[in-house]
């Protein structure tokens, strides 16, 4: 399980549009994450997104 900070570092690289998100070496260079953390995020992206970036509740 990666931390929220690790997920957000990955997400920052993703949102920057600087690299292809399948280029693990470049993601590692830009984010400072380990290869294992990057692969874990790639495999479980939707789980981490729901956990660390929940959708705001609508209404009221």
Q: How far apart are CA 60 and CA 45, in angstroms?
A: 30
pLDDT, tens digit (0-9, with 9 covering 90-100), for 51-60: 999 887 776 5
pLDDT at 59: 61
Residue 2: pLDDT band by 50, 70, 90 thresholds? very high
Reported as a single tens digit per residue, the pLDDT across 8-51 is 999 999 999 999 999 999 999 999 999 999 999 999 999 999 99
Q: Where are the domains of the chain?
A: 4-52
pLDDT of res. 11: 96
Alpha-carbon distance of 60 to 26, in angstroms, equals 43
CB 27 within 8 A of CB 33: yes
């Amino acid at each position: 399980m990666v931390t929220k900070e690790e997920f957000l570092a990955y997400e920052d690289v993703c949102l920057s549009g600087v690299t292809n998100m399948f280029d693990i070496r470049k993601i590692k260079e830009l984010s400072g994450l380990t290869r294992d953390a990057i692969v874990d995020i790639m495999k479980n992206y939707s789980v981490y997104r729901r956990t660390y970036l929940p959708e705001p509740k609508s209404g009221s």
